[in-house]
């Protein structure tokens, strides 16, 4: 399979017209003064379902054949992909089945069910969600919709990159760098395709939580690396163990060095997004912003855009971010 | 002075192009299902300075003569008008002086100062802010920029209404009703001018906090009413004592019955905006949303848009809203 390109992202953008919200690119004079440059936030937390995941899922489902659509779609996720896939199914009239952990937050399960998806719960310790999903697919003919490692998924997410480049251009801004959160790499590689198709000189980076920086280490060594742990970061959306088979070669081709931030830096970024941008950003959605605020992604004297990729955060975690207000 | 009309709002929209952010009109499938209709949020909390107030202030300052601009501008406000006026001055190179209460939140004073405004503090008990502002104007020649009761101010705010009507039209939606928060009536009457110029059949309402419903009572009786108290609602931005001399006749001509909500209903609306729309809305910015969620502004079987007019809320108050999560 050849790697997807900019034209595939453009085609996805056409499919998503009137479906995905064209989220705003926000700027804040005080934050700019503090950083000594121009920082833009692509507020993808405002997207339908509270994250960018609707884009890839809708782009995937809308390319399934009529026959495939009749047999439905199946996916596994405890969070944003579940909600994005379920909502894409509702919009396109495709039955969806989502395999979710039995201990997933009640609200996320309820939200996914509210989009009309059938939920199959599994035990994180005893069961394999992939095996359950594959069994459902074999039995019902439902198409498996992977969370990131598929051209239709990552080019759908890449429409975020096209929008950033177009919005910056409309504002008369030439972006030096763009950064996006990274779990399996679907968003960051897609965004790189979209941005670089319009603005080839812009560097694109993927942000990851400390301890879950498999992509940063894979890019540095040239060989796919795995994370030591499967859980243990506040960024619950960014715990994929290793880069994908499609996303990794794309990342090697398109991305600059990885950016790695701590949980504390993520909470500080969430607090700033609350205070200055009036946005609710979830931990995993705030890693690229955290990289910009800490100087790991330099903003001084430059124009930089970061994707805030989701806002599906529970009340307790958001209260922790609020508690970090500056004195 | 004749009352301003739709053409004045259109002219303001031209002045604000590339200055005010065209904030998104957001919709949420789950909230729609819950209400049995379509609810749209005009997310004006994402506006530069965290509220719609930049629109009117910029529209005012940009119409001052060269000579007036050289002498600067002066206004009084403890909150959103202060920040909007200071930022408009920064953008247009007009020196601004803002008279603020000595007990105003440190953050709001700092934010206003960060835009380059000179701050004059007054004692809420002993001093009259109007007298201080008028003295500054007389001494320096600075133009007084009123918070709401002026055609240039309310037509600037009215650009929010033009955007709502245009965004709804682009989505193929005919709005039955629009509601906006109301203090002195600049936003609500401006929005009514803007909306009705494009969609004459849409009813526009003003929302107010219980106990500070001077406009609702004035509309009901046909005579300007005053609030009994000057403080005591969580909606610190909506405490103007009585409708303006220009906004009241406009309100009589353009607005439907007033909507009145309690502080508890406002906190619940802030929690829903956090959970479903990923927006930080301040108490005064959430009254129209609260009216829609409580059924005071019916959404069932209809298409309704509410303005969430600001997001300048302190951490403690937002934590109170978070604590009201549904069980």
A181, A314: one domain = yes
Is position A327 within any domain? no
Kindly state whether B253 is in contact with chain A, defined as any CB-CB distance less than 8 angstroms.
Answer: no
Contact A97, A120 (CB under 8 A): yes
Q: Which of A147, A179, A208 is the last residue of a domain?
A: A147
Q: Which residues of A touch B279 (CB under 8 A)?
A: 46, 278-280
Domain count across chain A = 2
Is position A108 within any domain? yes
Residue A141 has pLDDT above 70, yes or no: yes
Is position A200 within any domain? yes
CA dihedral B131, B134, B135, B138 (to 10 degrees): -160
| Rounded CA separation A58/A85 (Å) | 7
| Rounded CA separation B156/A175 (Å) | 31
| Rounded CA separation A181/A89 (Å) | 25
Q: Which residues of B touch A48 (CB under 8 A)?
A: 27-29
Residue B144 host element (H or E): strand B143-144
A216, A87: one domain = no
Q: Which residues of A touch B24 (CB under 8 A)?
A: 21-24, 46
How do residues B8-31 score in pLDDT, each as one tens digit? 999 999 999 999 999 999 999 999
Both tokens of residue A159?
Answer: 């429409």
Q: Work out the burial of residue A53: count CB atoms within 10 Å of its CB; fewer than 13 is exposed, 13-18 middle, 19 or more buried.
A: buried
B228, B124: one domain = no
Q: How much is the average pLDDT of B281-295?
A: 98
- Predicted confidence band at B325 (pLDDT cuts at 50, 70, 90)? confident
Is position A24 within any domain? yes
B25-27, strands of its sheet edge to edge: B25-27, B38-43, B303-308, B177-181, B203-209, B259-261
The pTM of this model reads 0.97
In eight-state DSSP terms, residue A268 is H
Residue B299 has pLDDT above 90, yes or no: yes
B300 noted as active-site residue: no
Is position A195 within any domain? yes
Q: Which of B32, B278, B279 to mutate to test the interface with A (most CBs of A within 10 A)?
A: B278
* Inter-chain touch A322–B325, beta carbons under 8 Å: no
Both tokens of residue B164?
Answer: 């709502």
Is position B327 within any domain? no
Residue A267 has pLDDT above 70, yes or no: yes
- Report the pLDDT value the prediction gives residue B1, as an integer from 0 to 100: 62
B210, B170: one domain = yes
B309 noted as active-site residue: yes
Q: Which residues of B97-125 are buried (b: 16+ CB within 10 A; e: fewer)?
A: bbbbbeebeeebbebbebbebbbbebeee
Nearest by CB: A274 against B18, B280, B325: B280
> Of all residues in chain A, what percent carry a pLDDT higher than 90?
89
A78, A220: one domain = no
Size of interface A-B (CB pairs under 8 A): 81
Mean pLDDT computed over every residue of chain A: 96
| Rounded CA separation A51/B278 (Å) | 10
- Predicted confidence band at A1 (pLDDT cuts at 50, 70, 90)? low
Q: How many CA atoms lie within 13 A of A19 on its CB side?
A: 25
Q: Which of B57, B131, B125 is closest to B99 using CA atoms?
A: B131
Q: Work out the burial of residue B26: count CB atoms within 10 Å of its CB; fewer than 13 is exposed, 13-18 middle, 19 or more buried.
A: buried
Q: How far is CA B111 from CA A82, B14, B315, B322, in A?
A: 40, 27, 15, 24
Q: Which residues pair with residue B259 across a beta bridge?
A: B207
Q: Which of B102, B125, B148 is the last residue of a domain?
A: B148
A140, A268: one domain = no
* Inter-chain touch B46–A280, beta carbons under 8 Å: no
A226, A80: one domain = no
| Rounded CA separation B75/B148 (Å) | 11
B161, B44: one domain = yes
* Inter-chain touch A279–B277, beta carbons under 8 Å: no
CA dihedral A81, A82, A86, A88 (to 10 degrees): 0
The ipTM value here is 0.96
Rounded to 10°, the helix B6-16/B159-170 angle is: 90
Q: Return phi, psi of residue A91, to 5°.
A: -65, -35
Q: How far is CA B112 from CA A39, A308, B16, B83, B130, in A?
A: 20, 26, 21, 5, 19
Contact A30, B114 (CB under 8 A): yes
Kindly state whether B156 is in contact with chain A, defined as any CB-CB distance less than 8 angstroms.
Answer: no
- Report the pLDDT value the prediction gives residue A327, as an integer from 0 to 100: 60
Q: How much is the average pLDDT of B232-251?
A: 94
A157, A91: one domain = no
Is position A111 within any domain? yes
Contact B291, B188 (CB under 8 A): no
A143, A156: one domain = no
- Report the pLDDT value the prediction gives residue B142, as an integer from 0 to 100: 98
Nearest by CB: B114 against A33, A114, A325: A33
Q: How many CA atoms lie within 13 A of B324 on its CB side?
A: 16
Both tokens of residue B324?
Answer: 């009201």
Q: Which of A147, A163, A182 is the last residue of a domain?
A: A147
Which is catalytic among the residues B53, B108, B196, B296?
B53
Q: Which residues pair with residue B76 across a beta bridge?
A: B99
Q: How far is B139 from chain A (nearest CA, A)?
A: 31
How do residues B197-230 score in pLDDT, each as one tens digit? 999 999 999 999 999 999 999 999 999 999 999 8
Q: Which residues of B touch A318 (CB under 8 A)?
A: 274, 322
A246, A304: one domain = yes
Which is catalytic among the residues A137, A188, A218, A309?
A309
- Report the pLDDT value the prediction gives residue A231, as an integer from 0 to 100: 86
Kindly state whether A58 is in contact with chain B, defined as any CB-CB distance less than 8 angstroms.
Answer: no
A10, A126: one domain = no
Contact A3, A15 (CB under 8 A): no
- The CATH number given to whatever domain includes residue B312 is 3.40.50.1100
Is position A156 within any domain? yes
Residue A25 host element (H or E): strand A25-27
Kindly state whether B286 is in contact with chain A, defined as any CB-CB distance less than 8 angstroms.
Answer: no
Residue range(s) defining the domain that contains residue A161: 6-51+152-322
Residue B106 has pLDDT above 70, yes or no: yes
Q: Where are the alpha helices (DSSP H) in A210-286?
A: 214-221, 247-254, 263-272
How do residues B55-65 score in pLDDT, each as one tens digit? 999 999 999 99
How do residues A300-312 score in pLDDT, each as one tens digit? 999 999 999 999 9
């Amino acid at each position: 399979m050849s790697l997807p390109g900019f034209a595939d992202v453009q085609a996805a953008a056409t499919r998503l017209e009137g479906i995905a919200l064209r989220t705003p690119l926000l700027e804040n004079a005080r934050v700019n003064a503090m950083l000594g440059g121009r920082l833009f936030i692509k507020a993808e937390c405002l997207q339908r379902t509270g994250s960018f995941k609707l884009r890839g899922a809708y782009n995937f489902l809308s390319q399934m054949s009529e026959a495939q659509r009749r047999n439905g779609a199946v996916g596994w996720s405890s969070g944003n992909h579940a909600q994005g896939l379920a909502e894409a199914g509702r919009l396109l009239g495709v039955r969806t089945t989502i395999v979710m952990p039995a201990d997933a937050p009640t609200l996320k399960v309820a939200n996914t069910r509210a989009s009309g998806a059938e939920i199959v719960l599994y035990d994180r310790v005893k069961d394999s969600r992939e095996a359950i999903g594959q069994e459902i697919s074999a039995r019902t003919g439902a198409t498996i919709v992977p969370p990131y490692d598929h051209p239709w998924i990552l080019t759908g997410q890449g429409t975020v990159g096209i929008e950033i480049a177009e919005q910056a251009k409309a504002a008369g801004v030439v972006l030096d760098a763009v950064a996006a959160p990274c779990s399996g790499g679907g968003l960051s590689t897609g965004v790189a395709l979209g941005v670089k198709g319009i603005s080839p000189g812009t560097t694109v980076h993927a942000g990851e939580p400390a301890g879950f920086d498999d992509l940063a280490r894979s890019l540095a060594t040239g060989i796919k690396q795995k994370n030591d742990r499967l859980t243990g970061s506040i960024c619950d959306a960014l715990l994929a163990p290793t880069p994908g088979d499609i996303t990794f070669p794309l990342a090697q081709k398109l991305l600059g060095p990885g950016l790695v931030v701590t949980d504390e830096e993520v909470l500080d970024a969430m607090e700033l997004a609350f205070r200055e941008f009036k946005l609710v950003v979830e931990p995993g959605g705030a890693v690229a912003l955290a990289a910009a605020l800490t100087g790991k992604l330099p903003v001084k004297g430059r124009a930089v855009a970061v994707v805030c990729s989701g806002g599906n955060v529970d009340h307790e975690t958001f209260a922790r971010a609020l508690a970090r207000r500056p004195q």
